[in-house]
Amino acid sequence: MTTRDLVLIALFAALVVVLGLIPPVPLGFIPVPITAQSMGVMLAGCILGAKRGALAYALFVLLVAIGLPVLAGGNGGLASLFGTTGGYIFGWIAGAFITGLCAERLARAKDSGPRQIIGFFIASVIGGIGVVYACGMPWWSFVAGTPLDKVLIGSLAFLPGDLIKAGIAALAARAVMVGYPLLPKRA
């Protein structure tokens, strides 16, 4: 791992903190708010690749664990990690990794622009939505004592917004690939 990789990892962890400054949108009928930080999973994986994207989120989770108020709404600490949303937070690490793996295979520098955007979008949906939901929903069900089927139904409210985030992440990743390609230079 080079100094450049370490700087990119720290930069993306800082970007996730900044995304947390955007106020969360509570839905009222579900204890998990809509946040911009989940889009960071998609951005980190698509722009940095699997290893660096996951390490950026691991650094972010470490910041949460030591108590810094870096989660959306100014939350942080072990209570945040082991509460109902903890599965989603830990899932961000795996989500960034899987998003990066998919992006590395589906959006290559030699591909046309539309093909890259589609590749980044698919990678974002698989890792940034599928993996994160797969980690977060069982955790939430266990911690809250809510049946998994009810958690699944409640999570459907987040799907349209997450698909919009995946589209934004795909466009942003394409723009970075054109201007300053980081993905092909993965660690």
Tens-digit pLDDT profile for residues 139-180: 999 999 999 999 999 888 889 989 999 999 999 999 998 887
- End-to-end Cα separation, the chain, in angstroms: 6
How far apart are the C-alpha atoms of 66 and 166, rounded to whole Å? Answer: 29
CA distance readout (Å), 49 to 53, 104, 113, 124, 182: 6, 6, 18, 12, 8
What is the pTM (predicted TM-score) of this model?
A: 0.90
| Dihedral over Cα of 23, 32, 66, 37: its sign | negative
Give the tens place of pLDDT for each residue, 72-98. 888 899 999 999 889 999 999 999 999
How far apart are the C-alpha atoms of 4 and 25, rounded to whole Å? Answer: 35
Domain-wise residue ranges, the chain? 3-185
CATH of 3-185, picked from 1.10.600.10, 1.10.510.10, 1.10.1760.20, 3.40.50.1360, is: 1.10.1760.20
